Every structure is written in C-alpha cells, then in structure tokens.
A and B are shown apart, each in its own frame.
Chain A
Amino acid sequence: GAGVSQSPSNKVTEKGKDVELRCDPISGHTALYWYRQSLGQGLEFLIYFQGNSAPDKSGLPSDRFSAERTGGSVSTLTIQRTQQEDSAVYLCASSLGGPNSPLHFGNGTRLTVT
C-alpha cells in the first residue's frame, strides 16, 4: 500500500514568511510524528500525535512552530515568520500506535529559508 506522503518535497521561502508542511500518514495509523533533520545531523523530535491529540509539545523549537492533525489522518506543521535557522529537512512518520510499533517515515520536506 501507499507509504507516508509529504508535500511539498522542497520549499524555498523568504525569511519572515509563513510555511505549511503537510503529512499524509499510512491509512489506519493512529500515531504521527514530526522530526527535523539539519544537514549532516541526527533526527530532532518535534511533536507526536495520538489520534488528533498532541500530548507532548515540548519538542517544538519555539512558539513560531505549531502542528495540528485533523480526522486522525493528515497533519500540518506550520512555521510562522521563518528564520534561516529553520532550514532543514522536516520528516514525518506514522505508526499503528501500539507500544513499540515501528515508525514508517516519509521522505521529508526540504525547507530552505533565504
């Protein structure tokens, strides 16, 4: 079946603009995760959803970052007033949501802030 889909695959934006990144998880997956990966670095946890709720938002880097999930499916990560340090690959993953369920990742959105 279809995997995790992220759009756009690439986004170039000017400093100060807002951007929205979209994630379509695998159908039936109740858990959804957002990670950020800077060039040559590991994965930085941002936020996760169980259904539509985000129990822990402590990973979001600043109040310019927000995320929502509707209908237990699609999620949107919004970055307001983008800064150059926001440039990175933003990865989304989904899982069945049970304990220790493996994560299935999309190929990410590469965000470049000029």
Chain B
Amino acid sequence: LAKTTQPISMDSYEGQEVNITCSHNNIATNDYITWYQQFPSQGPRFIIQGYKTKVTNEVASLFIPADRKSSTLSLPRVSLSDTAVYYCLVGGNTGKLIFGQGTTLQVKP
C-alpha cells in the first residue's frame, strides 16, 4: 500500500495560485493518484485524478513527474471558499484505500 506524505498546512491569499505536493515513493505500477477536498461537516469530494504527466479540469490541475513518486495539485486563483482540507490518495487495485493526514489550506482575504 502506497503511503502518502503531504504538508500539514498551507496559507495563501485570494487570487493566488496554490500548489500542494504529495510524496508517494512506493507507488505501484497500476496505482492512480486521486485528490479529494473536504469542508467541515462534509464528506470528502473528488477533485481530480491522474496517472502520469498532466491532467486539467475545470477546478484544478494535477502534475505528475515521470517517476510518479510525487504529484502536485494546482489550484488557480484561489478564493476564500477554497479553504478546506486536501487529501492525496494513491491506489486503486485493492479496496483498502488509505488516506494520509491531508493538507489544511487556509485562504486569507
């Protein structure tokens, strides 16, 4: 099972780009990388998923280097409503999906 490591917390200001990096040194060949966002009193919500290189959707981009031992979630022009906890999850071939501790992003005005 691939273990993930993320910064515990990050601060940013409205309008800035935020990059959150996740380390997963023992990622398996068939594992994908998935990011989730969690607001207080809610369950986590899927943001983006990728296997290699770059993936972009309407809310974020995900950058994955060739060795796949890390990944970076990029949030363009954050707003106060992006204040949340962000989890990086690696895996998928087995059902035992283990979340790391997540990164608490605080966006300031």
A interface list, Cβ under 8 A from B: 4, 31, 33, 35, 41-43, 45, 48-50, 55-56, 58-59, 91, 93, 99-108
Tell me, in angstroms, the Cα distance from A31 to B95 when the chains sit together.
8
A43 close to B95 (CB less than 8 A): no
Contacts of B43 in A (CB 8 A): 4, 91, 93, 105-108
Query: Mostly helix, strand, loop or mixed at chain B's interface?
Result: loop
Output the least CB separation between A42 and chain B (Å): 4
B87 close to A45 (CB less than 8 A): no
B interface list, Cβ under 8 A from A: 30-32, 34, 36, 41-46, 49, 87, 91-102
A99 close to B34 (CB less than 8 A): no
Contacts of A102 in B (CB 8 A): 34, 46, 49
A103 close to B44 (CB less than 8 A): yes
Contacts of B96 in A (CB 8 A): 45, 48, 56, 58-59
With contacts A105-B44, A107-B42 taken as known, whether A35 is within 8 angstroms of B99 at the C-beta atoms is: yes
Output the least CB separation between A75 and chain B (Å): 13
When C-beta atoms are compared, the residue in chain A nearest to B98 turns out to be A45
When C-beta atoms are compared, the residue in chain B nearest to A59 turns out to be B96
Contacts of A42 in B (CB 8 A): 87, 99-102
Given A103-B34, A108-B43, 16 further pairs, Cβ under 8 A = A41-B101, A42-B101, A43-B87, A43-B99, A45-B98, A55-B95, A56-B94, A91-B43, A93-B44, A99-B32, A102-B46, A105-B42, A105-B44, A107-B41, A107-B42, A108-B42
